[in-house]
Amino acid sequence: MEKRLMHAIQYIAYGGGSNALKHVEVPVPSPSKDEVLIKLEAASINPFDWKVQKRMLWPFLPPKFPYIPCTDIAGEVTEVGKGVKKFKPGDKVVGLVSPFSGGGLAEFAVVKESIAASIPPEISAADCAGLPVAGLTALQALSKSIGIKLDGTGERKNILVTAASGGVGHYAVQLAKLGNTYVTATCGARNIEFVKSLGADEVIDYKTPDGAALKSPSGKKYDGVIHCATEYPWSIFEPNLSMNGKVVDITPSSSSMMTFALKKITCSKKQLVPLLLIPKGKDLQYLVDLVKQGKLRTVIDSKFPLTKAEDGWAKSIDGHATGKIIFEF
């Protein structure tokens, strides 16, 4: 039987940025035993997606060319694998496509049941499509790495979120405020009011001397830092940390890996820990439920149709998104 075809975006070699994205017709994938096939309504882009294209995850990703990028998708289930129990055709879901198979920037994509979550009727696919990588990273950093209890029952902690206007940062500020925290945040001048509206208690412009030094305006020492910006040496963090302060670096460089090792070996109370996202469906469902309860929102920087996917790709590479860049289908 002839395979059904769908519109997809792919690239065939490393590099080239948005100009290297090609619009193609490829067969609709089939779900394996533990997967669901989703007809996409929305997808979101993360810096991870273009870092793969830039060869920054070589030799692991992509496994081969041609490669259909993007992991974060939301839409309607049209088919389920034989072993799938949680979902049925017609359900709305958000999920994370395996970067090892690729396939998110297409009309249809498959995700494992274990890293998908149900979308209730009152929220849109676009409101959920930003959650998988950025939302789960913020959640993992706050709750697992720093130990913030998001029901507010933990002891009071001072948290710094860097690049709080970005995809991960804007979720991190909102989630941190669900816990018992005082949140300091950094962002550019144009986003200060926006980041305050997310709940940050104090906001610093990263281009000012105090911002560059990550100094809290009220003199707070940070118990935890969700570090979403890049290129800050340990010497900037160290004087701003409380006695047991911990920096969670979500974009660890080789020098931060050295700091991590050094702090471990010397049993330092102040620590820097690298974070690699370990996505779980139940955590994703937790985030979707927070959106439903009005406790978490996805701020959408801009939306692009699949026909203009290269414009969204270029905007993400540019690095100045406020919230999430979304593709709509």
Ligand X SMILES: NC(=O)c1ccc[n+]([C@@H]2O[C@H](COP(=O)([O-])OP(=O)(O)OC[C@H]3O[C@@H](n4cnc5c(N)ncnc54)[C@H](OP(=O)(O)O)[C@@H]3O)[C@@H](O)[C@H]2O)c1
Q: In a 10 Å sphere around its CB, with 0-12 CB exposed, 13-18 middle and 19+ buried, how is residue 152 labelled? A: exposed
- Least distance (Å) between residue 227 CB and ligand X: 9
Q: Tell me: does residue 174 bind ligand X (CB under 6 A).
A: no
For ligand X, the binding residues in 43-82 under the rule CB under 6 A are 46-48, 51
- Least distance (Å) between residue 27 CB and ligand X: 30
Q: Tell me: does residue 133 bind ligand X (CB under 6 A).
A: yes
| Amino acid of residue 1 | M
- Least distance (Å) between residue 204 CB and ligand X: 9
Region near ligand X per CB under 6 A, out of 80-88, 227-235, 260-268, 283-291: 227-235
Q: With left for phi above 0 and alpha for psi between -120 and 50, is residue 163 left, alpha or beta?
A: left
Of 44, 53, 162, 174, the residue at the interface with ligand X (CB under 6 A) is 162
Which segments of 141-197 does DSSP mark as H helices, in order? 167-178, 192-197
Q: Tell me: does residue 147 bind ligand X (CB under 6 A).
A: no
SS3 content of the chain, % helix, strand, coil (to 5): 30, 30, 40
Q: Tell me: does residue 250 bind ligand X (CB under 6 A).
A: yes
Strands 202-205 and 181-187: parallel
Region near ligand X per CB under 6 A, out of 143-151, 240-248, 281-289, 317-325: 317-325
d(CA 62, CA 244): 38
For ligand X, the binding residues in 182-201 under the rule CB under 6 A are 186-188, 191
Q: Tell me: does residue 321 bind ligand X (CB under 6 A).
A: yes
Residues that bind ligand X (CB under 6 A): 46-48, 51, 133-134, 137, 162-163, 165-169, 186-188, 191, 206, 228-230, 250-251, 275-277, 316, 319-322
